[in-house]
Each structure stands twice: as C-alpha cells, then as structure tokens.
Chains A and B, each alone.
Chain A
C-alpha cells in the first residue's frame, strides 16, 4: 500500500533558526497536506497543496508540492518556542478519494 517517509524524525533547534522537513512517497499523490499537533491536542491543518510545483506560504511556514508529485517539504523560518510540536505530512492519492496517508511525524523542540 501507499506509504510516506517523513524526515527527520525529530529536531532540536535554537530559537531563531530555520527548520526544514520533508516527506517522500513511492506513489503519486494529488494533494499534500501539512499538519501540526501541539502537545495534548489533535493535529491542525497548516498548509494544503494541490498542484505539482505549487509553493504556498502561511506566515513563517512555506511548503512545496514536489514536481514529481511524490514528495513535499515544509520550511519554518525564524523558529519561536511556540513552534514546538509534532508536524505531520499527509498525502491524498487518486485511488483513495478522501483517504489520507500520514507520515510518521517530525517532533520539533525549540530552545529559547
């Protein structure tokens, strides 16, 4: 079945640093989504990408839909302590309308 490989698994950075994480798949996806989960809460949608090559920003967050449709990355610029949490990528393929495949998550810790 479809799987997503998300990396890195965890990151520990200094406040103010930029962060980059990515997801790759062996299958093509039609939609890529990035979620953030704060401690003790459910994941919240950050950015949705619908076209290959699409680059979308949401404040200090920027995500891209890879041109091959098999990967996506998320960048966070000038990190702040409230960026702490788990970031999940999710892909939606053409064969499973509506069903999302999730990555394993990237745990981000920010040192003030």
Chain B
C-alpha cells in the first residue's frame, strides 16, 4: 500500500469503551499528525510527532492518548469519550525540513453514543 492508511474507516463506541485508531504511512516521512474535524468547524490540530517524539499537544483532553511506536505508525487511544468527541479524525504525515505539505489519510469517522 502507498500513502497514508487509517483504520477503521468508521467507529461507533459507547462512552465507557476503549478503542484505538490506527494510522500507517508508507512515504518515508518523519513527522505525523492527528487532526480533529467536526462538522462546520475548521481542522483542529491535536498532536504532532516528529521523529517519533511528541512535539505538540494542543490542549487535548487526556481521554485522547497518542502513541507513535515508530516513524511509520501512529495510534490514537480513546477512552471514556463524550458525545461531543464525535468527529472525523484525520491522520497526516510529512517530511520535516521540506515544504511539500502534508499527506492525509481518509480519516476515521467516530461516533460516540
């Protein structure tokens, strides 16, 4: 596979569940990102990983926990979410020190019930 792959594409979870979103990139990039996209709202940057180290955490609630085990994989662990956390969660990757922009995955549509 090429590009950025996100799984699952759709997820419905209860507020007491624990689930994880997965992102995988096959582009040789060294930076990865999690974005949240809610209806009628702009893209919200959640986390940035550079060379597998978290370099940015934009005041995201602790019920969202990222993990970057290597430069090709990024996870977002979810627990005790709220209905307002329902959104499209997008993963992206890029090559730092370059200016070619980000490559996005297709996203995971999350619904919290």
Interface residues of A (CB under 8 A from B): 30-31, 33, 35, 40-45, 48, 50, 88, 90, 92, 97-100, 102-105
Contact = CB atoms under 8 A, between A and B. Distances in A.
Contact of A31 (B88, B99, B106, B107): B99
Sorting the interface of chain B by its residue count into under 10, 10 to 19, 20 to 34 or 35 or more gives 20 to 34
B91 to A, nearest CB: 8
Contacts of B88: 40
Contacts of A42: 4, 6, 90, 92, 104-107
Contacts of A40: 88, 106-107, 109
Nearest to B105: A42
Among B50, B90, B99, B104, find the residue whose CB has the most chain A CB atoms closer than 10 A.
B99
6 contacts: A40-B109, A42-B4, A42-B107, A48-B100, A100-B94, A103-B42
Given A42-B105, A92-B99, A98-B98, A105 B48 contact: no
A30 B99 contact: yes
Nearest to B107: A42
Contacts of B96: 97-98
Interface string B66-109: 00000000000000000000001010101111111111111101
Rank and list the top 4 A-B pairs by shortest CB-CB distance, nearest first: A42-B104, A98-B96, A104-B42, A31-B99
B43 interface: yes
Contacts of B97: 97-98
Given A42-B107, A102-B42, 12 more contacts: A30-B99, A31-B99, A40-B88, A41-B107, A42-B6, A42-B105, A43-B104, A45-B101, A48-B101, A90-B102, A98-B96, A105-B42
B21 interface: no
A98 B94 contact: yes
Contacts of B100: 48
